[in-house]
């Protein structure tokens, strides 16, 4: 029987296939790393958007709650020093700074805070939303257009400022509205 011996030593080959394979592997690694980085960035953006949305909804809820209390005539204890988030503004120097968290006091009544709080470790927001109300000086106002409706001479204006927090401690939304009662 005759034995056939193969000679694997090919002439003219000097490792070109290895170099091509390594370059392709490098290109695929760069593409994969870029894809992971983009996905991580999109995930962070989605989380920030969620935080902003939750904070905005919380602040909007508090703003509407405070306006409803004003409309119902429930709030009467306005003092210049501020009690429970109610401030009497006589001069412009007494206006509150919306970013100052020390002035926020109003909260949702009773169990309504459960909208945001499902227990010690399952809170939907980082901190419960709150508001403060400034009673501005009474003023007479007469408008002559559709944009400025005619009001009585004795109109009480209020400035309502609400603060809502998102899921992370870095997200906060502050909303402000002006409300009047004739």
Full pLDDT tens readout for the chain, 182 residues: 677 766 666 565 667 888 899 999 999 999 999 999 999 999 999 989 989 998 999 899 889 988 888 888 887 777 666 666 777 776 666 666 666 656 677 776 655 555 565 455 556 778 888 888 888 877 665 555 555 555 556 678 888 989 888 888 888 999 999 888 76
How much is the pLDDT for 79? 67
Residue 154: which domain range? 16-181
Residue 69: burial class (beta carbons within 10 Å; 0-12, 13-18, 19+)? middle
How much is the pLDDT for 132? 86
User: Is 167 a member of any domain?
Assistant: yes
User: Is 128 a member of any domain?
Assistant: yes
User: Is 11 a member of any domain?
Assistant: no
Cβ contacts of residue 162 below 8 Å, gap of 6+?
A: 59, 60, 62, 63, 66, 129, 130, 131, 174, 175, 176
User: Is 78 a member of any domain?
Assistant: yes
**Total structural domains within the chain:** 1
Nearest to 174 by CA among 97, 108, 119: 97
User: Is 1 a member of any domain?
Assistant: no
Query: HSE-up of 141 (CA within 13 Å, CB side)?
Result: 16
**H-assigned helices in the chain:** 16-71
Residue 15: burial class (beta carbons within 10 Å; 0-12, 13-18, 19+)? exposed
How much is the pLDDT for 147? 59
Output the six-digit token pair for 169. Answer: 């401690």
Query: With contact defined as beta carbons under 8 Å apart, do 171 and 57 qualify?
Result: no
Query: With contact defined as beta carbons under 8 Å apart, do 132 and 100 qualify?
Result: no
């Amino acid at each position: 029987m005759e034995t056939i011996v193969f000679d694997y030593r090919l002439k003219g080959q000097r490792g070109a296939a290895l170099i091509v394979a390594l370059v392709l592997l490098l290109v695929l690694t760069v593409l994969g790393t870029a894809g992971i980085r983009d996905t991580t960035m999109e995930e962070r953006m989605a989380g920030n958007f969620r935080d902003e949305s939750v904070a905005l909804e919380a602040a909007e809820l508090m703003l509407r709650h405070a306006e409803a209390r004003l409309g119902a005539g429930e709030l009467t204890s306005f003092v210049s020093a501020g009690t429970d988030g109610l401030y009497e503004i006589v001069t412009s120097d007494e206006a509150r700074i919306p970013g100052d968290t020390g002035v926020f006091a109003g909260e949702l009544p009773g169990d309504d805070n459960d909208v945001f709080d499902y227990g010690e470790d399952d809170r939907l927001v980082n901190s419960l939303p709150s508001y403060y109300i400034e009673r501005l000086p009474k003023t007479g106002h007469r408008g002559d257009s559709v944009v400025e409706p005619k009001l009585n001479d004795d109109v009480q204006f209020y400035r309502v400022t609400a603060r809502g927090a998102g899921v992370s401690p870095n997200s906060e939304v502050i909303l402000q509205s002006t409300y009047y009662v004739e």
